[in-house]
Chain A
Amino acid sequence: MKKLLAFFSILMKDMKNYYLKPPNISWGIIFPVSWTLMFFIRSSSDVDIRGILPGVMALSVLFGTTSMLAVTITFERKSRSFERLLLAPISLNLLMLAKTTGAIVFGIINAFIPVVFASFLANLSGVNWISAIIGVVFIAVTSTFLGLFIAVSVSEVFEAQTFSNFFRFPMMFLCGLFIPIEDLPVIVRPLSYMLPLTYGADILKSSINYNGSIQMWVSLLVLLGYSLGLFLISTHNIRKRWIY
């Protein structure tokens, strides 16, 4: 009970101090909106809008989550307030879950902003919303933990930003959303299959346009593996480097 109280306090503090701050909200909205507009303007018909919806959703989550931890963790670490959390009588795992849950929730909300836009512009009947939501949640968790991994590997906020672009941009182009993986050069295809976003995007493609190419349970398993791995590496790094 006490631990739960601490968990929610940390989560609410981050929400109030970081996620719900005007610059962050506007970034969270402007980003998906501009992506959406950019693609929608180029698309001529309904089918196209629905066709690119999985991509816009996946990228909104990716960009909305990965850089958040640079602020909520790297920045707090730099100002030393993070030490306060490390010294609190809650386990490191629970602490890191509290620090990441905000980003996950924020990422999920971000994913549905383009959906709201698309619902006015295209016919979205027949979409499997249940699996789409599951897909979004999994993408949000994986990319948040990727952000966590980055945030605990660096010591400056700008390093975290730069480092996350190092992951984000290749993922954007290699995940099969805009260029189908079959059309990529053979040598980069294995790389595509190493990136978690490929699997998340595939779930969304299956749910929205029924054109995914990987079995859903495989994708979910891969994303689960990535999430677990990234989380464990991150907490291990914190134990080693921050509790020095």
Chain B
Amino acid sequence: MNIIEVKNLSKNFGNFKAVKKIGFSVEKGEVFGFLGPNGAGKTTTINMLTGLANPTSGKITIAGQDGIKDIKKVQQIIGIVPDESNLYDDMSGFENLVFCASLYGIEKTVREKRAKELLKQFTLDSAGNRPFRAYSKGMKRKLTIAAGIIHEPEILFLDEPTTGIDVESARQIRKMIKELNEKGTTIFLTTHYIEDAERLCHRIGFIVEGRVVKVSKVNDLMVEAQQENTVEFAMDKSGSSLEKLLLSNFSGITIKNMTDHSIRISSAAEIELMPFMRFFDDNGIKVSEAKVIRPSLEDIFVKITGIGIDKLRKEKEGKKK
């Protein structure tokens, strides 16, 4: 069953088209990830889905309700974790959580109990009485996530949950996302980390320049990637002069990532190492190592989107808005 359905959704800022007629659906109970570089339109899409931005055109259905007209009803069953931690600086961690729960009409005893549980779950219990402003970046993000789930939403939206925080907090957050999903919460997250998309999501939508260029199961993507075999040879000198010769001697191969001391060879068929070793040896190049390269989602991302991986890695250029 689809819990989120998006059709022809667009958002223009003046003449600039930030999101261009995108369509996708999210199944109940899954973790769906939007993967794309900065400026691709991920936050804009989340904002439209959660009611912080008005779509220019298109249709959103969330849990059977009109996600534009009946957004206030939808907001009752969704949790939102923005890309910046935006709780109240002067209030303690505990007070922040209790306040957020009260916005959803949760009564006092219940919300205080849940706040305590969440602080514990996120290993923030010792910081519960300190003001939010005194928290580290990772702690802030964790509390912001706790605030997003204190009303036990059916769907949780997370905008770049692991960006810009310490490794340990990021690990805890990933674990928490998995556990939450196992308990039945549907999760929509955005990220520009391939690793996160791979580790957390069941399905990924690739978003580039306001367009969703592909939606696919992570498993399928991996299978697709495995269709290609790659071997990397480490050598004592450059093999660039041999490129032509290699291609003519071995049919069906492609050569990638040629550096001074290594070469990558890919082929749809299985790659036998010995003929290559002999070839290099015959041409006076010593091979010190040959290793099979596990295909990564990174390669697939590049293949699907046609944009370089370095672009995805690039952190935010300047603040907008």
Residues of A within 8 A of B (CB): 1-3, 5-6, 9-10, 13, 17, 79-81, 83-91, 243-244
Minimum C-beta distance from B167 to chain A (A): 25
Is A6 a contact of B87 with CB atoms below 8 Å? Answer: no
| CB interface residues, B 68-87, toward A, < 8 Å | 72-73, 75-76, 80, 82, 84, 86-87
- Alpha-carbon distance between A84 and B52 when the two chains are bound, in angstroms: 10
Asked whether any CB of chain A lies closer than 8 Å to the CB of B104, the reply is: yes
Q: Mark B130-153, 1 if CB is under 8 A from A, else 0.
A: 000000000000000001000000
Q: Which chain A positions have C-beta within 8 A of B87?
A: 81, 84
| CB-based contact B53/A87 at 8 Å | no
Q: Which residues of B contact A81 (CB under 8 A)?
A: 86-88
The majority secondary structure among interface residues of chain B is: loop
B90 touches A87 (CB 8 A): no
Count chain A CB atoms within 10 A of each CB in B50, B73, B90, B105 and give the residue with the most. Answer: B105
CB distance from A229 to the nearest CB of B (A): 24
Between-chain CB contacts (< 8 Å), 19 pairs: A2-B104, A5-B105, A5-B106, A6-B105, A10-B103, A13-B88, A79-B86, A80-B82, A81-B87, A83-B86, A84-B86, A84-B147, A86-B52, A88-B75, A89-B72, A89-B76, A91-B72, A243-B53, A244-B54
Q: Note all chain B residues with C-beta closer than 8 A to A86.
A: 51-52
Rounded to whole angstroms, the CA-CA distance of A83 and B86 in the bound complex is 8
Residue of B nearest to A5 (CB): B105
How many Å lie between the Cα of A18 and that of B113 in the bound state? Answer: 26
Q: Given A17-B88, A89-B72, A89-B76, is A83 in contact with B104 using a C-beta cutoff of 8 Å?
A: no
| CB contact under 8 A between A9 and B51, given known A17-B88, A83-B86 | no
Provide the bound-state CA to CA distance between A2 and B108, in Å.
12
Chain A binding surface SS class: helix
- Tell me the complex Cα distance, A81–B90, Å: 12
**B233 touches A (CB below 8 Å):** no
B82 touches A13 (CB 8 A): no
B105 lies within 8 A of A17 (CB): no
The CA of A10 and the CA of B104, in the complex, are separated in Å by 11
Verify if B225 is at the interface (C-beta below 8 Å from A).
no
Complexed CA–CA distance, A91 and B86 (Å): 21
A13 to chain B, nearest CB (A): 6
Q: Is there an interface contact between B103 and A9, defined as CB atoms closer than 8 Å?
A: yes
A91-B72, A243-B54, A244-B53 as given contacts; A83 in contact with B82, CB under 8 Å: yes
Q: Is B91 an interface residue (CB 8 A)?
A: yes
State the Cβ distance, B160 to closest chain A Cβ, in Å.
14
A2: nearest residue on chain B (CB-CB)? B105
Give the residue among B53, B86, B106 with the most A Cβ atoms within 10 A: B86
- Distance between Cα atoms of A13 and B101 in the complex (Å): 13
- Contact partners of A80 in chain B: CB under 8 A: 82, 84, 86
CA distance A6 to B103 in the complex (A): 4
With contact pairs A9-B99, A17-B91, A80-B84 given, residues A87 and B104 touching in the complex (Cβ less than 8 Å): no
CB-CB < 8 A to A243: which residues of B? 51-54
How distant is the Cα of A136 from the Cα of B88 in the complex, in angstroms? 32
| Residue B89 CB within 8 A of the other chain | yes
Kindly list 19 other residue pairs between chains A and B, CB separation below 8 angstroms, not including A6-B105, A91-B72: A1-B105, A9-B99, A9-B102, A13-B99, A80-B82, A80-B86, A81-B86, A81-B88, A83-B52, A83-B86, A84-B86, A84-B147, A87-B50, A87-B75, A87-B80, A88-B103, A243-B52, A244-B13, A244-B53
6 nearest CB pairs, A to B:
A2-B105, A9-B102, A88-B103, A89-B75, A80-B86, A89-B76
Is B107 located at the chain interface by the 8 A CB criterion?
Answer: yes
Tell whether B100 is near chain A: CB-to-CB under 8 Å: yes
A5 and B102 in contact, given A86-B52, A87-B80, A244-B53 (Cβ under 8 angstroms)? yes
- A83 contacts across to B, CB distance below 8 A: 52, 82, 86
Task: Report the minimal beta-carbon distance from A115 to chain B, rounded to whole angstroms.
Answer: 32
Q: Are B99 and A89 in contact (CB under 8 A)?
A: no
For B106, the chain A residues whose CB sits under 8 A away are 5
Chain B residues contacting A6 (CB-CB under 8 Å) are 102-105
Q: Contacts A79-B89, A83-B52, A87-B51 known; A5 to B76 CB distance under 8 Å?
A: no
Chain A residue at minimal CB-CB distance from B100 = A84
Give Cα A86–Cα B103 distance, bound, in whole angstroms: 10
Give bound CA distance, A88 to B100, whole Å: 9
In angstroms, Cα B51 to Cα A84, docked, is 11
Which partner residue on chain A sits nearest B108 by CB separation? A5
A1, B106: Cα distance in complex, Å: 10
With beta carbons under 8 angstroms apart, the residue of B82, B91, B104 that contacts A88 is B104
B103: nearest chain-A partner, CB-CB: A88
Return chain B residues, CB-CB under 8 Å to A10.
103
Give chain A nearest CB distance to B57 CB in angstroms: 15
- Least Cβ–Cβ distance between B97 and chain A, in angstroms: 12
In the bound assembly, the distance between CA atoms of A5 and B89 in angstroms comes to: 22
